A and B are shown apart, each in its own frame.
Chain A
Amino acid sequence: MTNPSDAILTVSDAARSKVLELLNAEDQKDLALRIEITGRGAGGFRYDLQFVGETETEEGDAVIDGGGFKVLVDARSQPDLKGSRLEWVETALQSGFKLENPNPIWGDPTALAVQDVIDQKINPGVAGHGGYVTLLDVKGETAYVSLGGGCQGCGMASVTLKQGIEVMIKEAVPSIREVVDTTDHAGGTNPFYQPSKGGGGGEESPLV
């Protein structure tokens, strides 16, 4: 099912030209560009951009006319991408796509406060061990996070979560009563646990 809502995202001329150039180079004109928000951090939103088959739409996807190609945006990312503009930036040092996104990384002040604790206190601490923590959502009194890098796959990750991360978040944001790790520990490059039955994910672990 699609939801035509072109206002979610516009594509600059430079970005459009680059996408078409890449599609022509691939000689695959039946590809669409999928854009997804994968996380938030001190630098703002984190995005994933990839070419997928243009028929590979999912429930709730917005299908946007990029001008010669389709752009797919998943339902969860749509509110936080509204009004964004996909740019192509090319300087002497680097080049790449860039999303000019006018939205705050969290509309909810509680989530924003939790994000601040993660950015200012928690991630600098876990970075020394090659890990990072991503806030996925705040619902009521619960903050949902995922652990990545060195944290993902560490047998003591639950200790870090309950004895460190949760304590720090609850201290700084008293309205939060619980922090839940939703990490898909079966994914990524350093998975530890398969997701539990019915607990989301459920895909095969990678076979290289």
Chain B
Amino acid sequence: MTTRTYRAQAFLDAAGRLGVPVTVGSERPQILQAANPAGHLTLPFGETRRALAAIEAFAKAHPIGAIVATDDDGLLLAAEAAEAIGLSHNSPVSVARARDKSATRQALSDRGLRAPRFVKVPLDGDPAKHAGRMPYPCVVKPLSLSASRGVIRADDPASFMQAFDRVRKILAATRGSLAAPESLQWILVEEYLDGEEVALEGLLDHGELRVFALYDKPDPLTGPYFEESIYVTPSRKEPGVQRKVVGMVREAASALGLTRGPVHAELRLDEKGPWVLEIAPRTIGGLCARTLRFTGGRTLEEVVLAHALGLPVPSYEREPGATGVMMIPIPSGGILRGVRGAAAARAVGHVDDVMITLPPGERVVPLPEGDRYLGFIFARARTPSQVESALREAHACLDFAIDPVDTPGGGG
């Protein structure tokens, strides 16, 4: 996990409950590392060879039972390290395919599955050469950034040129970060797919897909930017549609070569069925996994860690009822000064919690440039409708004070 993770506490708590020791591999040395040398491993995430050598050397002194990447940043390294030291894991090739949106599209297409038409344009290419040939509307996006970062809809050649330039700047700003340098050299342009989105959370076990949750995403995602907001499960889609979604994810995972561990899939639905946008071989991002609770009060992270270690998993059944999360939309860019109404939001019926994850004084950056969440609202009720209503009511209680500053890319 990197120091930008939202997932540290959930995974460490899960390991604690399972009674398994953890080594945290991260890109920076930990503060009290000297007191617990087996508990920390500093890894140069951007330099795979060095990172692999460090993990292999570490594993000789401290045997490792499983490697689990908590976020996108560590997925490929985890797969390569697992292969290097002989642990069961998705193959590096399959993970690389899943991490690269163009490779995902190609693999789906090769398998005969529905995939949007796409073209990979070099970062230093001239967008004017492509602008006249794109099917509009289209979507311009990086190959590997997550959480809709850098994803922009273009409706005509002029907006395509603007979007391309903006994504180019986002990728330039990302250089030197943990994203694979190769993936920063290209921009993906694909046809825009109309329709609602759903997300599937599950676990692959020897290629078999166990579905933990199918989330509806009731807010329209039509662009020009694609900010996630509400996820509610169970899905209210027709059973036949749900079956098609599950079947499509199963097929798509197989097409990518993923066979083991958690998967988080994002799909669009149109009248002909589901389109897979992404299958990430990891758990759902941010703090959204808090929506999932399994029989006995187990968390998603406990299930994932136990499965990775080959420990018995007493039940893959979720607790009954509906649950959901709102990734709080960012109202504007600037400096966050504070939040009013959190207590009132927490007091809304069926609301479990409201968490503001961006500290006051920090810069709030909306999409497409932004990569940090403002916060999360969680709700739990008998029905998905009650959950959705509670999330919206709680959100209406919140008032964010954000001092405007110039945002990168000129606004949005």
Give the interface of A toward B (CB within 8 A): 121-122, 125-126, 128-129, 131, 153, 155-156, 158-160, 162-165, 167-168, 171, 186, 189-194, 196-197, 202-208
Contact = CB atoms under 8 A, between A and B. Distances in A.
Interface in B328-350: 337-343, 346
The SS class assigned to the A binding surface is loop
A194 B354 contact: yes
Interface in B372-412: 375, 401
A156 B39 CA distance: 13
Contact of B35 (A125, A129, A131): A125
Listed residue (A125, A129, A186, A189) with the most chain B CB atoms within 10 angstroms of its CB: A186
A204 B9 contact: no
Given A155-B8, A165-B32, A190 B361 contact: yes
Given A155-B6, A156-B30, A167-B36, A205 B24 contact: no
Contacts of B352: 197
Given A158-B8, A163-B12, A208-B360, 19 more contacts: A155-B5, A156-B26, A159-B24, A159-B26, A163-B30, A163-B32, A163-B39, A167-B39, A191-B359, A192-B359, A193-B355, A197-B346, A197-B354, A202-B343, A203-B343, A204-B339, A204-B341, A207-B339, A207-B401
Given A129-B31, A131-B31, A196-B355, A204 B338 contact: yes
Of the four ranges (under 10, 10 to 19, 20 to 34, 35 or more), the interface on chain B belongs to 35 or more
B178 interface: no
A189 B16 CA distance: 30
A205 B338 contact: yes
Interface of B: 3-6, 8-9, 12-13, 16, 22, 24, 26, 30-36, 39-40, 337-343, 346, 351-357, 359-361, 375, 401
12 contacts: A155-B6, A155-B8, A156-B3, A156-B8, A160-B31, A162-B13, A163-B22, A186-B356, A191-B359, A197-B351, A197-B352, A202-B342
Contacts of B35: 121, 125, 164, 167-168, 171
A207 B337 contact: yes
Contacts of A192: 357, 359
Contacts of B36: 163-164, 167-168
Contact of B32 (A168, A186, A191, A205): A168
B353 A197 contact: yes
Given A155-B4, A155-B5, A160 B361 contact: no
Contacts of A122: 32
A206 B351 CA distance: 22
Contacts of A191: 356, 359-360
A135 B194 CA distance: 55
A160 B32 contact: yes
B355 A194 contact: yes
A168 B342 CA distance: 35
Given A167-B36, A189-B361, A194-B355, A206 B338 contact: yes
A206 B16 CA distance: 34
Contacts of A131: 31
Contacts of A160: 30-32
Given A163-B36, A190-B361, A207 B338 contact: yes
Given A156-B8, A163-B24, A193-B357, A205 B30 contact: no
Nearest to A178: B16
A129 to B, nearest CB: 5
Nearest to A127: B31
B354 A126 contact: no
Listed residue (A158, A189, A196) with the most chain B CB atoms within 10 angstroms of its CB: A158
B389 to A, nearest CB: 18
